[in-house]
Structure 1
């Protein structure tokens, strides 16, 4: 009986610690970008960083990582999302979380396919005009600390 109670309590603690809907609690260095912008990012080996873009799925935003960057320079960890409010139509921020690996430079492109649906292809002229990329030039410099 004591084992079952202890196991139940441990499970409750684990579940409670996973709240908030986010798999990653540490975004590291946050660098903001936007559609049509190219932003430089400088990090150290071993440093966690996040590329942040304004996101509002309720109006049609759908951000994706175009392709995984050079794994020798930066490794992809996860995509996270935070809302600014509970009201319908509230926007927020999408975070693409990475870890700096070895010295070097790589380009990371995030694509917002606006109101594209499952096929991820703009189907209207308005969708083509509102879709776009945020580009980040990531440089990992110096030795690991």
Structure 2
């Protein structure tokens, strides 16, 4: 008997085997997992949730509105807090806080290192408003807030870093000071022609400078009599009120001799060194106040 020989081409067998293996692989990667989107395709990584520098989700550092340079860590949130009286700058005279509010719903941001969290202009627990921003990535940015109904602005230079940020500087606390203020007078420093007071010789007395410190203004004595009829006893005033909002700085004098003298204060609007206007806007909103003191 003649033996029958299988003459099927071997390449066709190899092709059939490969097709079977491919089918098995498809079944393994689809049917067994419920489809590619179920478990076999890696899901995209979610963006990290904003956290405070301390790692607390949803928390943010709160910088007082008077601040000018902020240093924050990439990936974290930070707030700029505007206290009541935001619209009462130095030109408002008495710092009543009754001026317009700063517009924070759509701040101007120059640079891509920082973005505003839309709808974040929420009421602050102390009656003001806080606007929340997110430090996107290392770099620098300028955040500009504009006063509603005005072209007056507050500019913040923001540096975003990979390491630790810089904790917000607390607004100076209201302090009683250690100086005997003597008699406190209602009349005090004023703009324009200034204020006028008359006191008795030998009297110690204090005069107020009332203003809102929300936008950020620094006062310093620029003209005074160090001896003469009415020496100023200290350049450091006694502070009353909300140091981050409406406040009164009291300056204390001694009526040593009969005569008249004038004392001037210069209020520097958002000045980095507290004394020298660096921009046209700073020069426009800085002001000088004075008081004329007569001793009889």
Higher relative contact order (CA 8 A, sep 6+): 1
Partner of 1:125: 280
Q: Which runs of 5+ in 2 are unaligned?
A: 1-174
User: Is 2:199 aligned against 1:26?
Assistant: no
User: Is 2:284 aligned against 1:111?
Assistant: no
- Greater C-alpha Rg: 2
After superposition, give the CA deviation of every residue in 1:38-75 in whole Å (9 maximum; x if it has no partner): 11111111111222112444421111111331612011
Partner of 2:26: none
Match of 1:96 among 241, 245, 251: 251
Cα deviation for residue 23 of structure 1 reads 1.9
Contact 2:239–2:249 (Cα < 8 Å) also in 1? yes
Q: Equivalents in 2 of 1:58, 1:103: separation in Å?
A: 39
Normalised TM-score (structure 1) = 0.70
Match of 1:61 among 209, 214, 217: 217
Contact 1:51–1:95 (Cα < 8 Å) also in 2? yes
Larger helix percent: 1
Normalised TM-score (structure 2) = 0.37
Q: Equivalents in 1 of 2:227, 2:237: separation in Å?
A: 20
Contact 1:112–1:133 (Cα < 8 Å) also in 2? yes
Q: Which runs of 5+ in 1 are unaligned?
A: 1-19
Q: How many residue pairs get matched? A: 120
User: Is 2:204 aligned against 1:48?
Assistant: yes
